[in-house]
């Protein structure tokens, strides 16, 4: 029965560390749809019909992609399960090239945030938040969910973030000093809330509020505001990752170790997410091209 197969597959994926909530609901829906038609194994035609119920082509592609991965899992043990083709095209659009900030722009953003709006805690909150994102590479959601007890002598404890992983992010002395200075101002303002960053409502920061504050600071220093070519709060994380790659030592073994360390530090589930940053700036692509050329000419890569 497909329903039992779905339950086993969902349990397996969750045991591997994935939350798998949306996919689980979709697979349960697909199993019910198939069994209502008298099918107890994956059939490509039925899978395409089920995925086609979604209102848009991208949604159909993503729904079918979930079934394709499920069918591959089942097909490995029972070849009677059919593996549907990617009838609706690719599940994901190519990732947009990240907007990388210069060191000067990062400093200007932090300074602009410290002067934006009224003379309230808001200025200290966003200037400190942006500085922390820039020097640690945290995801915005990870920073806004930080609790006071997550600040440890060894660094910031990021609890069960994306992919349900936890990790420890070390803090430079200057970053810790800046965070301590902010907390001195923040404690009297919202003593009953244990989030590190709080809004003027004495509540945890909302991602939309962070995006708005960042946009105000970015406009203040003259950064572009075009839909597909503008920085976002996540640009601070992207910039951190790229600068870390630019400091990578020479040597194949050293590069491999550096990439794995950076991938773990950033909380990536797959190292390919870290390699994506190699496309981010021309300097990195030039370095790659030069090393490939040396390798092809018989030198060391």
Q: Which of 41, 234, 258, 291 is catalytic?
A: 234
Q: Is 182 part of the annotated catalytic residue set?
A: no
Which ranges constitute the DSSP H helices of the chain?
2-15, 21-36, 44-51, 57-75, 103-113, 121-136, 140-144, 173-189, 207-220, 235-246, 252-266, 271-275, 282-296
Q: Which of 115, 147, 162, 203 is catalytic?
A: 162
Q: Which of 13, 186, 238, 268 is catalytic?
A: 268
Q: Which of 9, 126, 265, 277 is catalytic?
A: 277
Q: Is 139 part of the annotated catalytic residue set?
A: yes
* Nearest-angstrom CA–CA distance, 148 and 140: 17
Q: Is 9 part of the annotated catalytic residue set?
A: no
Q: Does residue 235 contact residue 98 with C-beta atoms inside 8 Å?
A: yes
Residue closest to 6 by CA, chosen among 36, 35, 27, 23:
27
Q: Is 277 part of the annotated catalytic residue set?
A: yes
Q: Is 99 part of the annotated catalytic residue set?
A: no
CA angle 8, 272, 57 (to 5 degrees): 65
Q: Is 234 part of the annotated catalytic residue set?
A: yes
SS3 224: coil
Q: Which of 62, 81, 139, 186 is catalytic?
A: 139
Q: Which of 99, 237, 238, 265 is catalytic?
A: 237
CA 73 to chain centre: 26
Q: Catalytic positions, please?
A: 139, 162, 234, 237, 268, 277
């Amino acid at each position: 029965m497909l329903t039992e197969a779905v339950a086993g597959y969902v349990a397996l994926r969750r045991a591997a560390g994935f939350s798998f909530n949306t996919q689980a609901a979709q697979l349960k829906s697909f199993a019910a749809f198939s069994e209502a038609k008298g099918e107890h194994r994956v059939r490509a035609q039925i899978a395409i019909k089920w995925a086609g119920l979604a209102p848009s082509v991208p949604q159909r592609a993503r729904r079918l992609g979930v079934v394709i991965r499920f069918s591959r899992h089942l097909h490995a043990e029972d070849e009677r399960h059919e593996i549907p083709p990617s009838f609706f095209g690719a599940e994901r659009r190519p990732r947009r090239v990240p907007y990388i900030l210069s060191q000067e722009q990062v400093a200007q953003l932090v300074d602009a945030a410290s002067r934006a709006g009224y003379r309230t805690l808001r200025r200290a909150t966003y200037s400190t938040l942006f500085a922390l994102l820039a020097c640690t590479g945290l995801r915005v959601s990870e920073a806004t969910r930080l609790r006071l007890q997550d600040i440890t002598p060894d660094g910031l404890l990021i609890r069960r973030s994306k992919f349900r992983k936890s990790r420890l992010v070390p803090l430079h002395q200057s970053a810790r000093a800046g965070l301590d200075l902010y907390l001195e101002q923040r404690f009297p303002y919202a003593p009953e809330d244990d989030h590190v960053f709080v809004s003027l409502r004495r509540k945890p920061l909302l991602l939309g509020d962070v995006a708005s504050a960042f946009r105000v600071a970015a406009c203040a220093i003259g950064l572009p505001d075009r839909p597909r070519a503008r920085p976002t709060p996540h640009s601070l994380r992207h910039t951190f990752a790229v600068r870390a790659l630019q400091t990578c030592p020479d040597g194949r073994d050293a590069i491999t170790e550096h990439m794995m360390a950076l991938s773990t530090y950033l909380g990536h589930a797959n190292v390919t997410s870290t390699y994506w940053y190699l496309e981010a700036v021309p300097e990195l692509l030039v370095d790659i091209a030069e090393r490939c050329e040396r390798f092809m000419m018989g030198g060391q890569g």
